Amino acid sequence: MQTELLQEARRQSEICNACRYCEGYCSVFPAMHRERAFSDADLTQLANLCHNCRGCYYACQYTAPHEFDLNLPKALAEVRQASWEDFAWPQPAARAFHRSGFAFAIAVVLGFAVLFGLIGMLGNSDGDKFYGAMSHGLMVAVFLPAFLFPLLSLAISLRRYWLAVGGGRIRIANIMSGLTQAAHMKNLSGGHGDGCNFEDEDRFSKARKWAHHAVMYGFLLCFLSTVSGTVLHYVFELPAPYTFWSLPKLLGVPGGILMVIGTVELARLKLKADCALGDARVWGGEMGFIVLLFFVALSGLALYLLGSSAAMPTLLALHLGSVLAFFLLTPFTKMAHGFYRITAMVADCGRG
């Protein structure tokens, strides 16, 4: 990790630790106030606890033009980003995505879509509807490794993080506490429960919290839809396509709608927020991930609505291309921050 980033984060953390005005704002400050000096591991842990809600910045009396020139959200965001790149496996992919994320995501989606389109042109006389464009066996052969790769990559990355910050012994109670905090998005409610100042310094809002909720629970519904479809196919020998009143559709359609709503709102908030209070170098990568997740959900809904039309092969190629890109890029996109943040909260529970 770049030494100057850690030095600046250490300088600002020491000032914050002496002031303590923001005590109780989020989980960063109780963790910070337990320390008297900050090692590189401590700063990495604090950075990954930070949700970049920016409430501390707008409340701080030592921001510019004060000579201390504090901007803790930015300092921690830069350390956080550097830690993700350092711990990622493989590292070159993480750095490439975050430097040119928007263009990178579009290129990968279109590349896979063209590939799937060419496969679809060959057809499959034994299949029906979607499987007429691509056989079920080929889908499994392509997407099973693509699903397993991010799990392996994230496992390696999180293990590196855990060892670097001295996470110690893993306890079930700490895991449950970290998952509970993540499920409720506790730290996006602000220190007083009124929300954060992410998009507007003069107004507390829970918009970012609800947008994260929509994306997270929408994604979980879509994942459960896929799982239920897999069970129906292999256990009950009921292959797709399924009707609207089937479990895959009852889970997947609301999940897709929630993801579309959530990603649109996250993009709106990000466009409105001050990029100087985060790591401006990776703004494109973060927005690229939001757009990618939006397109995954939107193309899935469009495929459901137009699955019997002449547009189906094109929509299928685009949807499968976006899903494959999403899986393969997950360890290097903002999606990984959820896993790091839960890991950081689990480690913090062990220290409290």
**Each residue's pLDDT expressed in tens, for the chain with a length of 352 residues:** 678 999 999 999 999 999 988 887 888 888 898 888 899 999 999 999 998 888 889 889 999 999 999 999 999 999 999 999 899 888 777 777 666 666 666 766 777 677 766 666 655 545 555 655 666 677 777 788 888 999 999 999 999 999 999 888 888 988 888 888 888 777 776 666 677 777 777 677 888 889 999 999 999 999 999 999 889 988 988 877 788 889 999 999 999 999 999 999 999 999 988 889 998 888 888 888 899 899 999 999 998 888 778 877 788 888 888 888 888 888 888 888 889 999 999 998 877 6
Q: How far apart are CA 213 and CA 262, in angstroms?
A: 8
Closest of 191, 165, 183 to residue 348, by C-alpha: 165
Distance CA 351, CA 176 (A): 15
CA nearest neighbour of 54 among 76, 78, 80: 76
Q: How far is CA 66 from CA 18, 45, 49, 174, 195, in A?
A: 16, 27, 26, 40, 27
Q: How far apart are CA 118 and CA 198, in angstroms?
A: 44
